[in-house]
Amino acid sequence: MENFPVINFEKLNGEERKATMEKIKDACENWGFFELINHGIPYDFMDTVERLTKEHYRKCMEQRFKELVASKGLEGVQTEVKDMDWESTFHLRHLPQSNISEVPDLSDEYRKVMKEFALKLENLAEELLDLLCENLGLEKGYLKKVFYGSKGPTFGTKVANYPPCPKPELVKGLRAHTDAGGIILLFQDDKVGGLQMLKDGEWIDVPPMRHSIVINLGDQLEVITNGKYKSVEHRVIAQTNGTRMSIASFYNPGSDAVIYPAPALIEHDNNDKVYPKFVFEDYMKLYAGLKFQAKEPRFEAFKASNVTHLGPIATA
């Protein structure tokens, strides 16, 4: 098995730019995942994000999680749990409007730091989208523009902790799924692992690496690239020891953005493989009920409604 792709972002500024772009291309085409180092977000700032996230978990979330586990009798389960994940989470929205000031239980310092972190990640996401455009042969700004809709992209963060689990073989930290959105930037615990991705039919670890940002591609990029890049299934295996921190930020299209394969990426001799066209919000409505199921039926559902519009998709 080849090594998990690690991209040294700094090298984009030097002589190794071409080789680094090639590495990103390979990761997008063959993995759907890669890890970024030297990405420009200061490491001491990431340490602050981590410290405040872990403090917040201990102070506001841990007890609540224990009570939930007790109320559901999850400690003593004997058969596989298929309708729940062993995770403690809360969500922050940054774009189109921030809700950070309304999320309960956050200290002023934590709110301020998460706002700043989101801004840095938003910039990184947009930088990455342009690198993807370059590799795909799309004009600079193409993906950002598609994601924009009328009100700009949707950007949010899921802060999760995966506490130690007595029965990891019976209850997953997070059940297998692909991400619905655009591009996902993850700051994960560097000591407690558990994230896995599906590669050539095998689950492999997304290795914890201090100060790295894990990038993965969502369903929308699969549609826009007409399958050149794929959203890849991933899951979290709960651990018996240690709590795993996971701060995943989702740079997604705006709710009214119209998503369709980039005309330049459609091979005209192979019409069967054209992905559908839809409004992002409609995709999310469908995804809400089907997150833990295969993505293909989601694409098919929209394809069925596109049948009479195949022409416009190809030329839009």
Residues that bind Fe ion (CB under 5 A): 179
Min dist CB 31 to Fe ion, Å, is 15
Q: Which is nearer to Fe ion, 35 or 179 (CB)?
A: 179
Q: Which is nearer to Fe ion, 87 or 179 (CB)?
A: 179
Which residue has its beta carbon closest to Fe ion?
Answer: 179
HSE-CB of 294 using CA atoms within 13 angstroms: 4
Q: Which is nearer to Fe ion, 179 or 189 (CB)?
A: 179
Q: Which residues contact 294 (CB under 8 A, 6 or more apart)?
A: none
Min dist CB 92 to Fe ion, Å, is 16
Q: What is the dihedral of CA 4, 9, 13, 18, to 10 degrees?
A: 20
Q: Which is nearer to Fe ion, 133 or 156 (CB)?
A: 156
Min dist CB 186 to Fe ion, Å, is 8
Spatial distance between the Cα atoms of 241 and 306, rounded to a whole number of angstroms: 49
Nearest to 100 by CA among 112, 83, 88: 112
Q: Which is nearer to Fe ion, 179 or 222 (CB)?
A: 179
Spatial distance between the Cα atoms of 172 and 167, rounded to a whole number of angstroms: 9
Spatial distance between the Cα atoms of 199 and 32, rounded to a whole number of angstroms: 9
Q: What is the dihedral of CA 50, 53, 59, 61, to 10 degrees?
A: -130
Min dist CB 296 to Fe ion, Å, is 17
Min dist CB 134 to Fe ion, Å, is 26
